[in-house]
């Protein structure tokens, strides 16, 4: 075997190791951001969750609810989602501060929703039932829970991925203020 065949693999390998080592030190942006931030909310028309069948609220919730001039939170959640339980106290706190929160319940059953709200509190001004994730997919959300800041014109201003922890509240309030 000649010299090239004998030393070549080692040289190639060391070159690769150098490049790979360099790549490892480069910062990577791993977060998935919705491409919808800065764009208007897509049109939707969903059945509303009606707690006791009293029929006193609207029967359907549409994107129009976000175009009344007041900024709101859109919270994508589900009764079967455990991080949503962890998030519930923060949503309560936000509601007490006067923040309007519209919930979108993903693939949920009314009785499960009722049970969840009874146990963990109901911070929502309205809850829409999204049985086939159409709103969720439409606004570029990839999981539950996720929270969006929507301004008074129905434009998506900010996306929060995952459950809202106590340290996130000030961020959300700031974004709401900026949107209003």
Binding site for other proteins (CB under 8 A): 1, 6-7, 9-10, 13-14, 16-17, 19-25, 28, 78, 80-83, 106-107, 131-134, 137, 143-144
Closest CA to 71 of 171, 126, 148: 148
**In the bound complex, what is the minimum distance in angstroms from residue 97's beta carbon to other proteins?**
27
Using CA atoms, how far apart are residues 129 and 80, in angstroms rounded to an integer?
Answer: 14
Beta strands in the chain (DSSP E): 45-47, 60-62, 72-77, 101-106, 126-130, 146-150, 156-161
Taking the CA of residue 6 as centre, how many other CA atoms within 13 Å lie in the half-sphere pointing to its CB? Answer: 3
**In the bound complex, what is the minimum distance in angstroms from residue 47's beta carbon to other proteins?**
14
- 4 vs 59, beta carbon nearer other proteins: 4
- 64 vs 132, beta carbon nearer other proteins: 132
- 7 vs 97, beta carbon nearer other proteins: 7
Which residue is associated with the tokens 């929507």?
150
**In the bound complex, what is the minimum distance in angstroms from residue 120's beta carbon to other proteins?**
15
Using CA atoms, how far apart are residues 23 and 176, in angstroms rounded to an integer?
Answer: 38
- 65 vs 84, beta carbon nearer other proteins: 84
Element of type H or E holding 31: none
């Amino acid at each position: 075997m000649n010299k090239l065949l004998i030393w070549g693999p080692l040289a190639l390998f060391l070159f690769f190791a150098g490049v790979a080592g360099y790549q490892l030190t480069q910062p990577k942006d791993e977060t998935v951001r919705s491409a919808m931030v800065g764009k208007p909310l897509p049109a939707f028309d969903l059945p509303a969750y009606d707690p006791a069948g009293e029929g006193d609220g609207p029967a359907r919730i549409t994107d129009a609810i976000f175009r009344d001039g007041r900024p709101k939170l859109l919270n994508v959640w589900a009764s079967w989602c455990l991080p949503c339980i962890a998030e519930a106290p923060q949503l309560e706190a936000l509601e007490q501060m006067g923040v309007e929160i519209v919930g979108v319940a993903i693939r949920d059953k009314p009785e499960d929703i009722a049970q969840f709200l009874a146990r963990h509190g109901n911070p929502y001004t309205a809850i829409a039932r999204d049985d086939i994730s159409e709103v969720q997919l439409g606004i570029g959300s990839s999981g539950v829970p996720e929270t969006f800041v929507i301004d008074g014109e129905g434009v998506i201003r900010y996306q929060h991925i995952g459950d809202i922890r106590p340290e996130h509240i000030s961020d959300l309030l700031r974004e709401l203020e900026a949107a209003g």
